[in-house]
Amino acid sequence: MGPYRVLFLDLDDTMYPSTSGLWEAVGERINLYLLERLGLDPATVVEVRDRYLEKYGTTLNGLIAEHQIDPYDYLVFVHDVPLEQMLQPDPALAEMLGRLGQKRVIFTNSYLPHVERVLRRLGVEAGIDQVIDIVTLDFVNKPKEQAYQRALELSGEMEPAACVIVDDRSVNLGPAVAMGMRPVLVDERGRASDGLPKISRITQLVELLPELLA
């Protein structure tokens, strides 16, 4: 197990390739929600989503704060995508996860039923010990500091230095770094320039951190 006891893994665009189109499909469903359920002008949808992301961290929390929506109705609606057409089983990921002695925790702003569908499709559900989703976080999402404190509590590990956190968004790694966690950025397109340790695919994790196998 080496120096680490817990591995926090983001889900979307981290556990599967960002080029799969899955997250874009969810994004289209978010746009459709804004159009159909809220009646927004199509010309303002992107602007509204960007503003909510900047101010609240997720579109969902912006909608809760400013429109008092039913979050469960939203989560079911936006995750209604044909992910089986976009994702393939990943035996290499299943094999890697099976070799790790750390507690493997999905830590995501997404929704548990979506998480479970993705893990089943990838064939890696047996390699995950715990899921911390947006509902478990009481809708306090990454990158809010409280989300990371809550994740530590739920994982049973109160020592940030004993944790590795893997995410495809550098903004989600910043608070974890400040707490003392070891960050890994999944940057499939090679666009990041923030100096964080990075890999292009999740299956390269043990190459970057061989001490995970110690």
Q: What is the DSSP letter of 123?
A: T
Query: How confident is the model at residue 190, as a pLDDT?
Result: 76
Query: How confident is the model at residue 189, as a pLDDT?
Result: 80
Tell me the pLDDT tens digit for each residue of 132-164.
999 999 999 999 999 999 999 999 999 999 999
Distances (CA, A) of 78 to 31, 69, 81, 185: 9, 13, 8, 25
Query: How confident is the model at residue 194, as a pLDDT?
Result: 76
Dist. CA 119–CA 16, nearest whole Å? 10
Query: How confident is the model at residue 192, as a pLDDT?
Result: 66
Distant-in-sequence contacts of 199-208, Cβ < 8 A, 24+ apart: 201/17, 202/9, 202/14, 202/15, 202/93, 202/96, 202/166, 203/90, 203/92, 203/93, 203/96, 205/96, 205/166, 206/96, 206/99, 206/100, 208/184
Q: What is the DSSP letter of 58?
A: S
Query: How confident is the model at residue 36, as a pLDDT?
Result: 93
Domains (range + CATH), the chain: 6-17+88-213 (3.40.50.1000), 22-78 (1.10.150.450)
Contact 23, 79 (CB under 8 A): no
Residues of the chain with pLDDT under 50: none
Q: What's the pTM value of the predicted model, to 2 decimals? A: 0.94
Query: How confident is the model at residue 70, as a pLDDT?
Result: 96
Q: What is the DSSP letter of 84?
A: G
Bridge partners of 166, per DSSP, are 9, 184
CA angle, residues 163, 112, 92, in degrees to nearest 5:
60
Query: How confident is the model at residue 193, as a pLDDT?
Result: 66
Lookup result for tokens 């299956």? 203
